[in-house]
Structure 1
Amino acid sequence: MKNGSCRVAGFWVASLTLASCGTEGRFDPDLRGWMNGGLDTAPAAAQAAPRPQPDNRGVITFANGQVAVAQAGDTPATVAARLGLDAGQLASHNALPADAPLRSGAVLVLPTKVAQGTVARPTGIAAIVTDPFAKGTGTKPAAPSPQTPSEHVVASGETAWSIARKYDVTVQDLASWNGLPANMDLRVGQRLIVPKPGTKPDVLATTVPGTGSPTPKPPSAATPLPDETTAPASEPAPDAPTTDLGATRTAASGGGPLRMPVSGSIIRVYEKGSNDGIDIAAPSGTPVTAAGAGSVAAITRDTAGVPIIVVRHEGDLMTVYTGLDGVDVAKGDTVSAGQSLGKAGNDGFVHFEVRRGFESVDPEKMLN
């Protein structure tokens, strides 16, 4: 039965993949505009208004916040310097290292408000030709946009298409407003500005002049609704069971040399080759500590900018910690068991690995 289910799932995945290629061979994971029928979701999202133009410093001021549009060669640090903001605060607010290179046109959501700039100076011919009858030579202050886009923080597993569907906008509008790359790549913690969807066409109004609008057919017009007799409940429904997350924690062997790096339930166990560590539930801001005494061998970051800390211990052991938001140690530091390494991030868990040399081992067998 299991293999049959896999084959059915594989069939549907293949069918949807082929269907989503569209009539011109372009991959359209959102299935919008592919065909007229059940899969046509084009009416689901009308085109939004274009993103407002930034001021001379690259800032767009909305009624409910501000964003900065990156220029070629920008990093969060250079944008922060241009706007008089703290580079670390701007970078962490957008889940990026301060020195991360930015795409031209990419958007950074500002953590605090900055003063409005002036209208961006025109380029080319428009910058040379002036109106001899115009009064005054001063620059015009940039007016705030009346638009109020939503702000969305990307969570693990989300895509540009799923976010676009959630807010009822097209993925093209989401991409153009945020300067996304062609592959629509997102990072966990990235802040997106989501425009208000455009006005959807009134289907009933699109009729030939003089014919009037058709009357919608009620659901019960073809077949009357069946009689329904609902029996009264003989007794109240039982209370929903409460889940004790602490009780879901997998028991450790009790005789290992290491301690739990974070106080929480083990929500994913070790499986060599597929999960070379354990995932421990940890709300954002939970302290993450060294599982044993040792020295910080390395601090790096994954592709989403999330810190990864490696601590070397006696006996050729190494422990690895990821899913952190902040780091309290530096490479080469000597740490004691229980010493703070940083704080848990926004993923809801901390990933913890134990390695002997380059081989992963089950962390639960090493915990005391």
Structure 2
Amino acid sequence: MQNTSLRRAWRLLSCTTALALLAACAEPFDPDLRDMGNGFDTSAAALNPAPRPRPDDRGVISYPNYQVAVAREGDTVVTLASRLGLEAGALARYNGVSADASLRGGEVIALPSRVAEPSPATGASVTGPITPSNTGTPPVSTGRIDVTTLAGAAIDRAAPQTQSQPSFPPQTPAASSAASSASVATPRALPSGEEPVRHQVGRGETAYSIARLYNVPVRSLAEWNGLGSDLAVREGQFLLIPPAGAAPAAPATPTPTAVTPPGAGSPTPTPPSAAAPLPQEEPPAAAPAPAAPAPVPEPQPVAEQAQPKASAMAMPAQGSIIRAYAKGRNDGIDIGAPAGSAVKAAAAGTVAAITTNTEGIQIVVIRHPDELLTVYTHVVDLTVERGASVTKGQTIGKVKAGSPSLLHFEVRKGMESQDPTNYLP
């Protein structure tokens, strides 16, 4: 028995060493460990991802602020553009590919301008862009975790897998002992209707680094965007960040049953006749005389609930709040500010992402200590780049002109939106 255990241990060590050497000889070893057991578990929503909405017969998925198309097997940029009535060159430039490029089946292509909205006439179940109230599916009855967006709403996950999309090993729980109960299957979530964050790939970014940035599994990112089996992305490519699905109800924990060790006899149950006799009834005791009231102790000072310091962050723009924070409806605040006025980093940190939507509105994400993120929208003339370190109060851009001109500002703890006024002076 001991020799067998040693042989198994050596085989495991040899396999592990071989994998490490193979990784060192190939691409940079960049594993995503979030799906590898309880030690790296994130949340119930992460384990119950929202599937990508089904496109209409043209391949179009429409959201309020942008549209994308899902390529068919054998599509090229030219055939896709022709089907949607777009100019092939403009579609190619917008997605960072050549006009004659071939597309993978299931690959997501961003549209530079809006086309006719999906409707039953185009094979869609609803008319118009997808919104939380216009998903074409029954509403999710469980408590949906709204964690997902660095620009409005967003993150976690996955599309149903098809033959044209990359194949990944199924996520299965670790083998359990013989005494463990069978695991309960987790139901898939319905589409949430939330508009996903759209990320434009920058130089040097990989599917792994983008998945880590938004705290989503790389597998879900690949399935939503129809990435190839090599998970390759290109500079200028637009990726949809999978939004979170509904958190499933926690399964009931089965009551463990006693297991008799091998070779031991089964315990003999106690016969009913041997049960302890019922206790004799006792007359109720007389009610005791009321005791003298105890002296009231002096109230002790109660420690105040920990709240973020009012001076933890600086106002990112000079102006007044014209739209307040409302979780799930407005995950930040809108600060009315003159067009061209300075937008400043609310706290010291690192520029984690810079993205742009179809209307040219830039979104800047700055990462701070303690898992805090700040998000700045409606910013122009940026003075920082992704990866740059910024100091509190440093100018990062200017307020975009608009009617009204404003800065949309968010604070997130991990991916959960917070009321920014708790952090501002």
| Shared fold, TM over 0.5 | no
> Which TM class, normalised by the smaller chain length?
0.3 to 0.5
Q: Structure 1 length as normaliser, TM-score?
A: 0.41
